[in-house]
Amino acid sequence: MRTSSRRSGSFKLRRQASAAQLELAAAALREIGARKKIRKSLRSFTDRFSTEPKPARHHEIIIEKLQSLVERRHEPNACLRLLISAPPGSAKSTYVSQLFSAWFMGTNLIGHRRHVIFGSHTDDLAKHWSARSRRLVEDQNYAAVMGVGISADVRGESRWEMSDGGSGFFAVGVQGAPAGRRADALIVDDPIKGAADAASDTVRQKVWEWYLHDLRPRLKPKAIIVVISTRWHHDDLAGRIMPEGWDGGSGTFMSRNGETWEVLNFEALSENLAQDPLGRTRVGESCWPEWWNEAYLELERQSQGPFMWSALYQGRPTPTSGLYFQREWLRYYEGSAPPDLAIYGASDYATREAADAGDADYTVHGVIGMDAKGDIYVLDIWREQASPDRWVEAFIDTVDKWRPLAWGEEAGQIIRSVGPFISRRMRERRVDCYRVRYAAVADKSVRARSFQAAMASGRVLFPKNAPWLAALVDELMVFPKGKHDDQVDTLGLVGRMLAGLRPGETPAVKPTDPRANIETRAPTLDELFKANETDDGEQWHRRIA
């Protein structure tokens, strides 16, 4: 009996050992499967290696888009550009600059050698995110899972390589040059440091040139670009990449250089429901309710003020409501403007030409019409970064097309230097127009005050389907904080002319007026040029009455 009992116990032990071995074998097979999946799946990698809490919904969408971006690399004509805009503190850099970078360096979706160039506003910040990504790669679990680890030889703060003998990561700040290196992925994280840099034309131009001339030439064919940022200014890197008139919405857009970009803009509080990547159904919902409740964000809205709230938290440096001009003041007309308008025009001539055409001033010619009630119809806008010979001809073309009663322009060095050429070309082309000159006013807000009042009173209407309307509205909404304000300056001249504008129907001359028996006629060409010799713009209507 004792022998039988020992045999029975031995059998149970062997059976238990066998079950344990089977479980270990099954666990090993599951781990092998999990590792294969992690090498191909950013979400699986994040679940394994992230020290953050469970990803929020906007993090999940970022992960999905990054995964898709990598998988599309070998598809013909695929979109390989992703722009992510999210509020400060939304952990966008954690999921892109740290986790995605580390996964990308080890994934087998790319091939044997993988190179990342990472850029940020300073060397310090670039090194910070480089170090965080590198620490993941240095972990022994990373090498066990991904099948490749950190190189023992090259593991610096801004440059480190992988043990496969080819892959590498290089981090650089604005104006730093990654010369001699190539990239399968270019990641640009917060290229603008803060409000002071954002307000500087010089800094914004340096960031643009750094991206355009130092980073982009390093790309391999089929390389991906990811730009993540908090928006500071409508002329920041994201604003220059996206098409003119882009309102910060999410979706797929054609950039100014013809590339297709996918855009994710996570508004802190939902406003644009039609383009919300989170699919929120109610205005005012938080993008990260687990972290920011709506009451907190409403308090932050009040603290930041309309411009900074719209830029930093809504990803739209052109505020929804506007700053100097309010969006609710915009009125539109469809089709053609009413007949029998009195036509007038104004120009803002470029005073600055730049070596980089994208930084030059615009010349703007604007045409408006006034009806019998005094309502103003904006009829035409010509706007171009052009040399004087080009914009002078465009001015004469516009005058010839619309035949305005008068044309406003600002007196100053540009008109003194180019004015004789304008007059000569008008005589040569036999196009005449009464040109009214106004004294320069340094404060742009003061210049635009009269036109602001006209818009606020509902007297200004814009053509709903004009091709130039989006750029004009964008400039109006961001004024006076925008990079360009040439169209506003032109409309400001119109505003300064308002006191002397004759409406569409000319009032009858009173019998007591000593000029009652004088035949009303248009001035001759000689009279026009003689009258134009003075700069008394504020009194122009008295001379042609």
CA angle 352, 442, 392 (to 5 degrees): 40
Fold observed for domain 327-544:
Nucleotidyltransferase; domain 5 (3.30.420)
CA angle 165, 168, 173 (to 5 degrees): 160
290 vs 306: CA distance, rounded Å: 25
pLDDT mean over 88-116? 89
What is the predicted pLDDT for the residue at 484? 82
pLDDT mean over 3-8? 59
Architecture of domain 56-313: 3-Layer(aba) Sandwich (3.40)
Instruction: Look up residue 214 and give its DSSP letter.
Output: I
486 vs 190: CA distance, rounded Å: 29
Question: Comparing 7-11, 120-124, 218-222, 407-411, which segment has the lowest mean pLDDT?
Answer: 7-11
Residue 542 has pLDDT above 60, yes or no: no
Cβ–Cβ < 8 Å for 81, 225:
yes
Element (H, E) at 59: helix 57-71
What is the predicted pLDDT for the residue at 287? 96
Closest CA to 285 of 298, 275, 274: 298
465-479 per-position pLDDT tens digit: 898 998 898 889 888
Question: Comparing 109-113, 123-127, 351-355, 466-470, which segment has the lowest mean pLDDT?
Answer: 351-355
Q: What is the pTM of this model?
A: 0.68
Cβ–Cβ < 8 Å for 395, 345:
no
Higher pLDDT among residues 48 and 34, named by residue: 48
pLDDT mean over 28-42? 80
What is the predicted pLDDT for the residue at 366? 97
Share of the chain above pLDDT 90, in %: 54
291-319 per-position pLDDT tens digit: 999 999 999 988 988 778 888 999 988 76
Sign of CA dihedral 396, 397, 399, 400: positive
Element (H, E) at 409: strand 406-410
- For the chain, which residues make up each domain, given as ranges? 56-313, 327-544
Cβ–Cβ < 8 Å for 51, 194:
no
What is the predicted pLDDT for the residue at 499? 75
pLDDT mean over 133-150? 90
The residues near 174 (Cβ < 8 Å, ≥ 6 apart) are: 119, 120, 121, 122, 191, 206, 207, 210
pLDDT mean over 504-516? 50
Residue 525 has pLDDT above 90, yes or no: no
Confidence of residue 17 (pLDDT cuts 50, 70, 90): low
Cβ–Cβ < 8 Å for 51, 98:
no
407 vs 494: CA distance, rounded Å: 9
What is the predicted pLDDT for the residue at 399? 96
Higher pLDDT among residues 468 and 484, named by residue: 468
Share of the chain above pLDDT 70, in %: 84
176-197 per-position pLDDT tens digit: 888 888 999 999 999 999 989 9
pLDDT mean over 522-537? 52
pLDDT mean over 34-59? 91
Residue 13 has pLDDT above 70, yes or no: no
What is the predicted pLDDT for the residue at 208? 96
pLDDT mean over 248-254? 90
Instruction: Collect contacts of 87-93 with beta carbons under 8 A, ≥24 apart.
Output: 87/230, 87/266, 87/268, 87/287, 87/312, 87/313, 87/315, 88/230, 88/312, 88/313, 90/58, 90/266, 90/287, 90/288, 91/52, 91/56, 91/59, 92/62, 92/228, 93/129, 93/189, 93/190, 93/228
221 vs 477: CA distance, rounded Å: 39
Confidence of residue 214 (pLDDT cuts 50, 70, 90): very high
pLDDT mean over 113-127? 94
Question: Comparing 298-302, 356-360, 402-406, which segment has the lowest mean pLDDT?
Answer: 356-360
Residue 20 has pLDDT above 50, yes or no: yes
| Residue 537: CB atoms within 10 Å | 21
404 vs 522: CA distance, rounded Å: 11
Residue 515 has pLDDT above 60, yes or no: no
What is the predicted pLDDT for the residue at 253? 93
Higher pLDDT among residues 29 and 494, named by residue: 494
What is the predicted pLDDT for the residue at 277? 96
**Token duo for residue 50:** 């992230």
What is the predicted pLDDT for the residue at 32? 73
